[in-house]
């Protein structure tokens, strides 16, 4: 690395640390809760919005800034003009947030998002604690629409099961800058469990060693999330729906010619750095979900009750309300040309089942467009519900205590009817199952340079590039 690039890298890290509070690389100690001295926080709060109102007495513009972000809107318009984001797409995990918001919103930076009537203009509905808690005791339980309370709450009502209340005063007085732990409280567990969705983001990144991620190494560089996702006015750049490395790419620190070997450097024109420097994902001891078969859901045990089956390591391989799963560790990525645009299926789009698995999303790019690079990806496969008459993927109402929620009554017809009505799409009354595939770009879990791929990993007729169009492995 040249001195110029080293200086740029260090400056970027210092700027990120100053703006977002990077922890000292060697100590890992958290600063004292200085907010306890503020009178606005010296009260017993009964709800989240009460805390936010107190925060706004000093941070007057914070909620209005949050209102402009993807974290708040759950919406993103990609370069192709598609309106995407959690509120708009169909996926092959839990299919949609449409009728499941009361559960999904436990990872929303707001309070009370249970349906389309949520007040996105409310400043008090912004959840400051979701990102700024440093106590580790702030938990937003599923089923409460992102709300949090000081007293124990029965969830669902009448179940006899209670979610423990949160000491909001202590949490509010202990706020601080974001950390890997605060970001990870949602991002590590997206898709319903630790590491299950993305494969390169899981709880092993909270305090990893260099073998898991050389940049986040807790005893080394100790990058926090905002070192790369440099944030301004609460807008956190980076999205799985659009271009990668839009604000802080590898070349920000390393330049476009970081290797002494010129033949290796020329790969930068057509290959993402991650392709060689992330040889596998799910490397931190947390397996990632690779297959989800919804078509087997609904089976009951000998006693007539729903059941869960686990493998030797304790991971679910079958759940009555969800079906069968397959997991993987140290997974070798697939590879694809990527020009920065990811296209997605949206509710109501007619699908063609005659060309193999239905693509939930797909990367645009080719070896001939002059702007694409080969990226490592996680390919996730599922078998999920669809309407075989209207030829559309099903939106399924899963979570809730009502008669149509699949996780309560195991009735696909009722669950799909409710889900499709929520997104204003027709439903024929018939439910079938179709194979689908989704793709996730891999960009975390960068290995030490000694573990980067050797030339022969790709330059072999049976190597990693053998299925990538336009590549001659020889």
- Residue 387 domain-assigned (yes or no): yes
pLDDT value for 307: 97
Burial annotation 304-315 (CB, 10 A radius, 16+ → b, else e)? eebeeeeeeeeb
Give the span between the Cα atoms of 362 and 436, in whole angstroms: 11
pLDDT of the residue at 14: 42
Is 131 inside any structural domain? Answer: no
| Per-residue confidence (pLDDT) for residue 244, from 0 to 100 | 56
| pLDDT over 90 (residue 426) | yes
> Per the domain annotation, does 192 fall within a domain?
no
Does 242 score more than 80 pLDDT? no
Averaged pLDDT of the chain: 90
Q: So what's the pLDDT on residue 245?
A: 53
What residues make up the domain containing 383? 269-457
Q: Count of domains in the chain?
A: 1
Q: Does residue 224 fall inside a structural domain?
A: no
Q: Is residue 415 part of a domain?
A: yes
Residue with the larger pLDDT of the pair 247 and 369: 369
pLDDT in tens, 5-57: 444 454 444 434 443 333 333 333 345 468 989 999 999 999 999 999 999 99
Q: Is residue 278 part of a domain?
A: yes
What's residue 28's pLDDT?
A: 38
Within-domain flag for 161 = no
- Bond into 149 cis (ω within 30): no
Pairwise CA distance, residues 362 & 341, whole Å: 9
Let me know if residue 395 belongs to a domain.
yes
The partner residues of 149 in beta bridges, in order of sequence, read: 47
- 1 band by pLDDT with thresholds 50, 70 and 90: very low
Percent of the chain whose predicted confidence (pLDDT) is above 90 = 75
Render pLDDT for 93-129 as a digit per residue (tens, 0 to 9). 999 999 999 899 999 999 999 998 999 999 999 999 9
Is the pLDDT assigned to residue 473 strictly greater than 70?
no
β-strand 288-293 against 373-387: which pairing, if any?
Answer: parallel
Cβ atoms of 159 and 189 closer than 8 Å: no
d(CA 406, CA 298): 9
* Long-range contacts of 255-260, Cβ-Cβ distance < 8 Å, separation of 24 or more: 255/1, 255/2, 255/4, 255/5, 258/1, 258/5
Tell me if 382 sits within 8 A of 293, measured CB to CB. Answer: yes
pTM of the model as a whole: 0.89
Instruction: Tell me the pLDDT tens digit for each residue of 45-94.
Output: 999 999 999 999 999 999 999 999 999 999 988 877 888 899 999 999 99
Report pLDDT for 474: 67
Q: What percentage of the chain reaches a pLDDT higher than 70?
A: 91
The Cα–Cα gap between 396 and 431 comes to: 11
**Segment 218-234, tens digit of pLDDT:** 999 999 999 999 898 99
Going by pLDDT thresholds of 50, 70 and 90, the confidence category of residue 274 is: very high
Tell me how far apart the alpha carbons of residues 242 and 289 are, in angstroms, rounded to a whole number: 23
Q: What are phi and psi of 381, to 5 degrees?
A: -115, 145
Task: Give the model's pLDDT for residue 158.
Answer: 79
Could you give the maximum distance between any two Cα atoms of the chain, in Å? Answer: 69
């Amino acid at each position: 690395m040249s001195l110029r690039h080293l200086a740029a890298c260090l400056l970027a890290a210092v700027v990120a640390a100053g703006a977002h509070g990077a922890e000292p690389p060697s100590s890992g100690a958290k600063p004292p809760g200085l907010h306890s001295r503020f009178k606005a926080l010296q009260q017993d709060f009964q709800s989240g919005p009460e805390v936010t109102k107190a925060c706004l007495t000093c941070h007057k513009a914070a909620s209005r800034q949050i209102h402009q972000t993807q974290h708040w809107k759950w919406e993103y318009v990609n370069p192709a003009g598609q309106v995407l984001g959690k509120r708009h797409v169909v996926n092959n995990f839990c299919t949609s947030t449409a009728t499941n918001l009361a559960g999904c919103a436990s990872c929303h930076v707001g309070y009370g998002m249970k349906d389309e009537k949520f007040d996105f203009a409310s400043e008090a509905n912004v959840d400051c604690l979701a990102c700024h808690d440093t106590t580790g005791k702030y938990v937003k339980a599923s089923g409460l629409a992102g709300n949090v309370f000081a007293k124990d709450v029965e969830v669902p009502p009448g179940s006899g099961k209670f979610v423990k209340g949160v000491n909001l005063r202590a949490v509010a007085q202990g706020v601080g800058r974001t950390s890997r732990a605060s970001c990870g409280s949602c991002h590590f567990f997206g898709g319903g469990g630790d590491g299950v969705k993305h494969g390169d983001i899981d709880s092993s990144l909270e305090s990893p060693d260099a073998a898991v991620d050389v940049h986040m190494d807790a005893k080394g560089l100790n990058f926090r999330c905002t070192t790369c996702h440099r944030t301004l006015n609460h807008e956190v750049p980076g999205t799985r729906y659009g271009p990668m490395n839009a604000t802080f790419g590898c070349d920000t620190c390393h330049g476009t010619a970081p290797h002494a070997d010129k033949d290796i450097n020329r790969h930068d024109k057509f290959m993402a750095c991650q392709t060689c420097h992330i040889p596998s994902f799910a490397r931190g001891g947390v397996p990632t979900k690779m297959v989800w078969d919804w078509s087997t859901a609904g089976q009951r045990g000998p006693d007539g009750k729903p059941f869960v089956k686990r493998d030797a390591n304790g991971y679910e391989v079958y759940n009555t309300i969800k079906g069968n799963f397959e997991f993987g560790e140290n997974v070798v990525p697939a590879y694809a040309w990527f020009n920065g645009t990811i296209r997605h299926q949206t509710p109501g789009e007619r699908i063609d089942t005659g060309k193999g698995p239905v693509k939930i999303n797909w990367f645009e790019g080719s070896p001939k467009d002059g702007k694409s690079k080969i990226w490592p990806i996680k390919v996730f496969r599922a078998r999920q519900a669809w309407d075989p008459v209207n030829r559309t993927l099903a939106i399924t109402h899963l979570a809730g205590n009502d008669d149509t929620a699949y996780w309560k009554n195991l009735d696909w017809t009722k669950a799909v009817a409710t889900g499709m009505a929520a997104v204003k799409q027709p439903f024929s009354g018939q439910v079938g199952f179709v194979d689908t595939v989704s793709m996730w770009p891999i960009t975390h879990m960068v290995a030490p340079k000694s573990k980067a791929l050797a030339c022969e990993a790709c330059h072999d007729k049976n190597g990693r590039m053998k299925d990538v169009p336009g590549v001659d492995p020889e």
